[in-house]
Structure 1
Amino acid sequence: MKYMSKRYLVLEDGSLFEGTAFGASCDEQFGEVVFNTGMTGYQETLSDPSYCDQLVVMTYPLIGNYGINRDDFETIQPAISGLIVKECAEFPSNFRNEWSLDEYFKQKNIPGLSNIDTRRLVKKIRQNGTMKGVMVDNIEDLDACRKQVNEFNYKRDQVRRVSTVKPYVVPGNGERIVLVDFGMKHGILREFTERHCHVTVVPYNTTADEVLQLKPDGVMLSNGPGDPKDVQDGIMLVKDLMGKVPIFGICLGHQLIALACGADTHKMKFGHRGANHPVKDLRTGDVWMTSQNHGYAVTEESLSQTSLKVNQLALNDNTVEGLEHETFDIFSVQYHPESSPGPQDSNALFDKFLNKIKGGIIHA
């Protein structure tokens, strides 16, 4: 077996998991321990900026079996803190394979942990909620390590760290879209370019005046990591743009729209992370399977005093999955219609957004 060195995971409740190291060496790697239920799509998961500062546990037992290819990345530089799996495939097999998971993680300086009881770990998270954890190669004093984990405080600037620093343009002949990058997956950009849109990607702290100077036909608010209440620039941007241009929000963008309209958000017990989450459209009765990755949700009770109406709910726990503004051309979803990975049931939402733009209905 190629990966022989030991590696440990210590949780804030004192639990210790001993396994095998792969990827980069690891003196100390702190993060929020979360789990993803996808059977495939680990490459898109590890390169999704929304996993910034998180140690991600894959519930499917065999990860890395089709390797890493050059096409399926959702960002150039992954922001994930570490990956935890039952078994890391040593010899991947796929015609697109370029690197093994171990080789890629070494390139990107990301540690991985394998050969632990991921079922036990995930059950613990489901029972107790997401927890702080640390991944280490050596433990000299377990009690001191446990104390460090409990004293560790999450950073609050994830969006700043994963957003683009400067605006850039992806030219097209269609509608002019400003895509605000809060931790954007490349899949979102791909959906617009496939529809021939002219897309300008801007940083998270771009002001409404700067956006409107670009003369957009519509504004897209991307996904992103962390607590939406920490992204005050995004909340203010939405407030200042409402009624001036059509807006579509995904994931974090969905939460920022809710906060800008006076609603509230809350941290979920263990969140939604996977590619098999059923969502019901309350208007049509249709049920879509969706790809999701979020640890916060819009508090439904807080919407009563706003102009936002719930139009979609998660069937597993009845959390808010879709919102639409009663007056302005604004709508949002908590899941990922661009998939990557996951089912493409809701991909037509990008067409819905472009149809709103083409309709020219902009409320002053």
Structure 2
Amino acid sequence: MTNFILYDDAAIRPHLLPFTFTRPVSDVRCGIMTLTEKWVHYLGKTPSFLTEPYLQYKFPLITTHDNTFLNGAVCATVAIANAVEKLQVGQVLVGSNGITIAYRSPFEVVQPQTELSVIPFPEPITVIQHVWDIFVENGAQINADFAAITHQRTSQPLNDPHTHCYAPERIFIEEGAKVRAAILNAENGPIYIGKNATICEGSVVMGPFSLGESATVNWGAKMRMNTTIGPHCKVGGEISNSVLFSYSNKGHDGFLGNSVLGEWCNLGANCNNSNLKNDYTNVKLYSYATHTLEDTGRLFCGLFMGDYTKAGISTMFNTGTVVGVNANVFGAGFQSKHIPSFSWGGAAEGTTEYRLEKAIQVAYETVSRRNVRFGEIEQDILRSIFEQTRPRL
């Protein structure tokens, strides 16, 4: 039996920073599940990871004499999983867009399409190749994940007499979830409410929408289409076409649109972001791959925030802003379009380098408050990111 390994495509990983500073490519969330969870669901097996050396301790690699290497940026489907399981040793499965989907080999292959026998996969595939793909593909992935997760299952009943549902057959509620005096509209796409999640009084939720396990939508919130709130997140205000990975908070009023937040982020009260330029031209976004502003080809593009980053009350983020890992952002006026990792301050006040040990201590306190372990491995990952991203004098 073959051994499955999710690998980071070297041509894609830099374009998914800052999120891939702290995780393999496949641990990006798009839809209800992460890309890893999609592969696990369709293959029925748990893979290991081939990622950056400093991440390998947290995401271990297991190899055997017979391995199938899976591209971590590919959104798995039933058809893809079936094709992968038919691969023979020495074969590579290639999508119609030229992307390697998977290959089977005793060892890692640098150029699988030139070194192995190519098996074409004719159906369209979804690949998360840029940070904006996360929210662009999110609605379609919510639909796909919803169908996969709820197949031949029955939703828990919604017994609250003060909640009104449109298209209730497209609403799925897991065990322990609570909905109180809300409006759920699934006419344009499904609504998934995870185990022990809560939607509080006065909230309006439009599908496609996903609320992860033990996550909370606060009172009077407005959750617009194509939005994913990951496990253990707490959100309020207005959120549109955005993805929060897990354990992140945007609990107060304010707008977040066409945006992606990693894990352990916090937006203070009245934080807002712009997602559309006044002149209606394409948004340009800072790229870690080229260290330049690149045209996204999109009119709507908002905020991209790496893990452990926090923003003070009333912080304003400009259209197409990228914030790195473990930054502390605050102050008047619109912030810079790129805020490096371990920055402290804001555009008006100026920024300084966040003291490493202080940053790690704050991250430890943030995680510990949720009774989650933050050990030496997590601390070493932050130290490595600090050294990678620190300006060279």
Note whether the superposition's TM-score is higher than 0.5: no
Instruction: Name the TM-score, length of structure 2 as normaliser.
Output: 0.29
Normalising by structure 1, report the TM-score. Answer: 0.31
Higher RCO (Cα < 8 Å, 6 or more apart): 1
